[in-house]
Every structure is written in C-alpha cells, then in structure tokens.
Amino acid sequence: MTSNDDDYVYDEASGEWLSAADVAARDAANAAGPEVRDAVGNLLSDGDSVVLVKDLAVKGAGQTLKVGTVIKSIRLTGDAQEIDCRHEGIKGLVLRAEFVRKR
C-alpha cells in the first residue's frame, strides 16, 4: 500500500483512505478560516477599515451608528458573517459583514 512512500490515513468524515499530504493540505485550508466578504463582495482581513452602509441601533449601548461611520482595525471571528471591532464608547462591538463596506 505504500509503494510510493506516502503514508495513508483513514478519514472518518469521508470514509476513505487519503494520503497524509492531502489531509494536511485540507486541514491547513480549513484552519485559515472562512472568507469574510463585505456588502459589495470585497474580501475583508484583520486590520482593515470599514464604513457602515446602514444605520445600526446598538443594543445595550443606547446609541445608533450612522451610515458612513468609519470603523478602524477590524478583527475577523471564526464566523463568515461577523467581525469584531471597537468604536468610541462601545466595547465588544460585533458587526455583521453585510452592513459594512471596505474602505
């Protein structure tokens, strides 16, 4: 079974024997996390600045963020639709990517 010196591992998810190199490549791609895209389809990454495309009432803060508000230095979460960010007076602000546009 190891005629070309590759190690094979059993993949429980698919029920198949796969080469260790294939499994490592797949795991590395999954570890990178999901792609996060803004309201117009631009790919977002950690540290980007974004602009709000809709007025958002912030629950618990008694504050509304207006269209055009700039949010700097976003951080991606493990979710494909959520970004973690900071704004004046609001700690732990999490926005949905569908309400922002990359600046």
CATH of the domain at 54: 2.30.30.40
Same domain as 57, residue 98: yes
Interval 28-69: pLDDT, tens = 766 666 889 999 999 999 999 999 999 999 888 888 999 999
Residues 62 and 94 in one domain: yes
Same domain, 54 and 89: yes
> CB within 8 A of 28, min separation 6: which ones?
none
In a domain, 38, yes or no: no
Domain count, the chain: 2
**Per-residue pLDDT at 18:** 87
Residue 64 lies in a domain: yes
Question: What range defines the domain where residue 74 resides?
Answer: 50-102
* Residue 94 included in any domain: yes
pLDDT band, very low/low/confident/very high, at 84 (cuts 50, 70, 90): very high
- The maximal CA–CA distance of the chain, rounded, in angstroms, is 67
